[in-house]
Structure 1
Amino acid sequence: MRYVESPKNLAGSACGLAGLALTFTGVAGAYWPVVVAGLYGAGALIAPPERPAPPDFPDPSAQLEALRADFEALRGYLAEVELPPAASGRLTELTGLLAALLDPGWVAEVLAQDPEGVHTLARTVRQDVPEAVDTFVRTRWWSRLTPGQEPPERHLERQLDLLHEEAGRLASALRETEARRQETHTRYLEDRST
């Protein structure tokens, strides 16, 4: 059934019908079956190949919905982990910024237009924060067995600072995008009034 509706069959059928028209006008003569089949074959060969449908990837808003669900799972994990006060404060700042970026509304709409920003946010939520916290918990246990090493809290605090800076750069880029949009609209209105 798929071939019946294909462009090759439709083009071949149209050419085959032209062959039948030639037969009825007397041009094809006794060789009309060869002419009709040949024209059908020629039409099927010159028809464009069937193009496969592109994959149906989720749109950015659906990606953000999945990311919001993953962020809630991350928050549940972080609530169960015991962290030192300085790292806990930095983590609270970071999760607050991530929550603001993922909050449904106009920020999410702007973020959805920036695939690199969505990727950065997804990497932070799904990989970087859980890895930093889990590595700290594991290293803290080992540091109790071998005192005198650099405390794992310093590494965790530095990692959280770096992640906060990255999320801050993303928020700044989104703000700049909106500022450029506003400036562009102002110029448009100025140009329109002249």
Structure 2
Amino acid sequence: MATSRAGRILGRLESGKNLAGSACGVAGVGLALAGVGGAYWPVVVAGLYAAGALIAPPERVPPPPFDPREELGVLREDFARLREYLTEVELPAGAGAGLAGLLESYGALLEPGWVADVLATEPEAVHAVSRGVRQDVPECVDAYQRTRWWNRMAPGGESPEQHLERQLVVLREEADSVTAGLHEVEARRQQTHTAYLEERGRS
């Protein structure tokens, strides 16, 4: 407790505002010694200290460092749990094939290596894959199972199988869009390097 309090006091003494105020206060003492301010020199010194503290920039607290690769590590664990869950679910043939293709896309993006390293640099792409793995696919499958039961109890209406297949098509298109976006990132990187080499060759 005492060490923590001493650290806070030391931190205030070393703060930019205190240092700027102290510098202005020292200037105020110099002015007082030169005869400026007369009997009111303490007020001059205090005022200059306060002015220096006010004009000093506020202390900046640096944000905590986040490693996007750690997020991908957690996402891989969730993806493994999703695949385990899906092995216990009975799905229609058409939806099963579509789901297999979607999971293959997610797995290729999350596989440790340079592809995942590129993915980690694109927060929006990570968010899209995370949403698909943690929310969209489980919700699609669970909603299908629930609706299929109600449909058996009260036949009629739209087929739960068709809805599931349509949902998986949309998710596959989104995964393909993420892949295309990462491809574009790599293409831009290659083009930038080509331009750099050509410019270097001309100089």
1:74 aligns with 2:95: no
- Distance (Å, rounded) in 2 between the aligned partners of 1:40 and 1:166: 59
1:48 aligns with 2:62: no
Distance change in 2, residues 1:11/1:188 (3 Å): closer
Normalising by structure 2, report the TM-score.
0.84
Post-superposition Cα deviations, 1:64-114, rounded to whole Å, max 9, x if no partner, equal 222222212211221221212222221111111100011121111211222
Query: 2:18 is matched with which residue: 3, 6, 9?
Result: 9
Structure 1 residue 146: Cα displacement: 1.4
SS at match of 2:151: helix
Post-superposition Cα deviations, 1:26-47, rounded to whole Å, max 9, x if no partner, equal 5454433233222222222322
1:155 aligns with 2:155: no
Partner of 2:4: none
What is the letter of the counterpart of residue 198 of structure 2? E
- Distance (Å, rounded) in 1 between the aligned partners of 2:79 and 2:146: 22
* Identity %, equivalent residues: 62
- Distance (Å, rounded) in 2 between the aligned partners of 1:86 and 1:190: 51
Structure 1 residue 143: Cα displacement: 1.2
Partner of 2:194: 186
1:93 aligns with 2:111: no
What is the letter of the counterpart of residue 91 of structure 2? L
Correspondence 1:79-158 to 2 at 5 A? 79-158=87-166
- Distance (Å, rounded) in 1 between the aligned partners of 2:139 and 2:65: 27
Partner of 1:64: 72
Partner of 1:166: 174
Distance change in 2, residues 1:91/1:7 (3 Å): same
What is the letter of the counterpart of residue 164 of structure 1? R
Normalising by structure 1, report the TM-score.
0.87
Distance change in 2, residues 1:176/1:15 (3 Å): closer
- Distance (Å, rounded) in 1 between the aligned partners of 2:45 and 2:125: 59
Aligned length: 193
Distance change in 2, residues 1:55/1:193 (3 Å): closer
Moved over 4 A (4+): 25-29
Structure 1 residue 181: Cα displacement: 2.0
Which ranges of structure 2 fall in alignment gaps of 5 or more residues?
1-8
Partner of 1:37: 46
- Distance (Å, rounded) in 2 between the aligned partners of 1:74 and 1:60: 21
